[in-house]
Amino acid sequence: MVLFALLLLLLLYFIVRPRPVTIPIKNRHVFITGGSIGIGLAIAKQAASEGARISLLARSLDKLEEAKQSIRQAYQVDVAIFAADVRDYDTVQSAIKEAGPIDVLVVNHGVYAIQELENQGLDVVKFMIDVNLTGSFNVIKAALPLMKDRKDKEPASIALMSSMAGQVGIYGFAAYSATKFGLRGLAESLQQEVIEDNIHVSIIFPPVTETPGIVEARKNMPELTKIIVGSGGMKAEEIGKITVNGIKSGSFGIPCNFLGQTFAIATAGVSPQRSFLMASLEVVFAGLSRFGGLLFQWNLYGTIEQWHAQKKQA
C-alpha cells in the first residue's frame, strides 16, 4: 500500500504538466479588472503590500479614486486607475496600453444576479454573459500581445476569477454558473496556447464572499437558493491573500477553503495540475470526492423536494 503510494508519487513527479513555476510579484506590474471594490480591491491591497506595482480597471471613476486613496493610506503606494467597461474592447485596449506591459493580469471583474431562469430577464442573462465571459475575452485579448512581447521573459500570469458556482451549478445560478464554468473552458485552452510564452493561467474558485456585490444579490435571491447556499461567507481580504499566493505558485486551480478544496478534487477532470503532491491527492481521493458529490446531490435534491412539498401545503 505504502509502496503503491510512493510509486504513484514518483510517477506523478515526472509526468505533471505544465511543470511547476513560481511567479514573483514584487516590483512587477499587476493589472486588476473589477479592482475598485470587493475581491479585486482585496487582491490589489495584498499585492501592494508585497511590493507590486498596481493598476486597477473598473467602470466607476469615483470608486476607483476611493480605492486609490485607501491603498495609499494603508501602504503608501500609488496605484494607476483606469475607468472602462470591459464590454467595450476599444476602451479596455487603450487602458491596457496606457498602463504599460503587464506581468500579472487578474481578470477579476464580474456581475451576478441570482434567480430562477424562469423568472430572470434575458437582459440580465445577457448582462452576465457579456461582462463575465465576453468581457474576460476582451481583457485577455487586449493584454495578450504585449504580454507575449514582453522584454523581461520572467514568468507572467493570467488569473481568472471564477467561483464555486463555476464548479457546480446551483438553483438560481443558471446564467452565473454558465459564465463561470465558461471561464474554465477558456482557461484550460488558453494555458495550452500561452505556455510557450512562459505565461501561466490560474483560475480561482471562491465561495460566497462578503462584498458589496453579494449584499445586492441577496436582496432578490430565491428562498431556496438561500437555504442551499447558507448565510455565511468568507472575507474579501482572505480571498485576496489566497489569490495572490495561488498566482505566485502558478497553480492552475485555486480553491479558497476546505470545501472548495474537496470541490476542486472532485472537479479536477482533465484540467492540468502542476503539483505532483496535489495530483496524488486528486488520484487517491477522486473516488471519495465523487461519492461525496453524489451525497451532495442527494441532499440538494432532497432539500428541493421538501421545499416544493411545503409550498404546496401552504
27 binds other proteins (CB under 8 A): no
Instruction: Write the CB contacts of 33 (distance below 8 Å, at least 6 apart in sequence).
Output: 40, 57, 58, 86, 106, 107, 108, 109, 135, 139
Q: Which is nearer to other proteins, 80 or 129 (CB)?
A: 129
In the complex, what is the shortest distance from the CB of residue 66 to other proteins, in angstroms, rounded to a whole number?
A: 31
Q: What are phi and psi of 121, to 5 degrees?
A: -70, 145
In the complex, what is the shortest distance from the CB of residue 232 to other proteins, in angstroms, rounded to a whole number?
A: 19
Helices (H) and strands (E) in the chain, counts: 12, 9
Q: Which is nearer to other proteins, 44 or 144 (CB)?
A: 144
Q: Which is nearer to other proteins, 62 or 193 (CB)?
A: 193
The residues with which 57 forms a beta bridge, in sequence order, are 33, 82
294 binds other proteins (CB under 8 A): yes
In the complex, what is the shortest distance from the CB of residue 43 to other proteins, in angstroms, rounded to a whole number?
A: 23
293 binds other proteins (CB under 8 A): yes
Q: Which is nearer to other proteins, 71 or 164 (CB)?
A: 164
In the complex, what is the shortest distance from the CB of residue 268 to other proteins, in angstroms, rounded to a whole number?
A: 6
In the complex, what is the shortest distance from the CB of residue 37 to other proteins, in angstroms, rounded to a whole number?
A: 24
Q: Rounded to an integer, what distance in angstroms lies between the CA atom of residue 145 and that of residue 164?
A: 30
Residue type, 162: S
Q: Which residues of 288-311 are buried (b: 16+ CB within 10 A; e: fewer)?
A: ebeeebeeeeeeeeeeeeebeeee
Q: Which is nearer to other proteins, 67 or 199 (CB)?
A: 199
Tell which one of 51, 100, 145, 212 touches other proteins (CB under 8 A). 145
Q: Which is nearer to other proteins, 72 or 126 (CB)?
A: 126
CB 84 within 8 A of CB 92: yes
122 binds other proteins (CB under 8 A): yes
Tell me which H or E stretch contains 202.
Answer: strand 199-205
In the complex, what is the shortest distance from the CB of residue 220 to other proteins, in angstroms, rounded to a whole number?
A: 15
CB 22 within 8 A of CB 251: no
Q: Which is nearer to other proteins, 87 or 218 (CB)?
A: 87
Tell which one of 51, 100, 212, 287 touches other proteins (CB under 8 A). 287
| Interface of this chain with other proteins, residues 227 to 266, rule: CB under 8 A | 263, 266
Residues annotated as catalytic are 162, 176, 180
137 binds other proteins (CB under 8 A): yes
Q: Rounded to an integer, what distance in angstroms lies between the CA atom of residue 28 and that of residue 11?
A: 35
| Interface of this chain with other proteins, residues 185 to 224, rule: CB under 8 A | 185-193, 195-196
Place of cell 492552475: 252
Tell me which H or E stretch contains 205.
Answer: strand 199-205
| Interface of this chain with other proteins, residues 150 to 189, rule: CB under 8 A | 165-189
Tell which one of 79, 113, 131, 140 touches other proteins (CB under 8 A). 140
Using alpha carbons, select from 279, 231, 210 the residue that is nearest to residue 41: 210
CA count, 13 A, side-chain hemisphere, 80: 16
Q: Rounded to an integer, what distance in angstroms lies between the CA atom of residue 90 and that of residue 79?
A: 22
Tell which one of 97, 126, 226, 235 touches other proteins (CB under 8 A). 126
In the complex, what is the shortest distance from the CB of residue 94 to other proteins, in angstroms, rounded to a whole number?
A: 15
| Interface of this chain with other proteins, residues 49 to 68, rule: CB under 8 A | none
Using alpha carbons, select from 73, 115, 91, 75 the residue that is nearest to residue 33: 91
306 binds other proteins (CB under 8 A): no
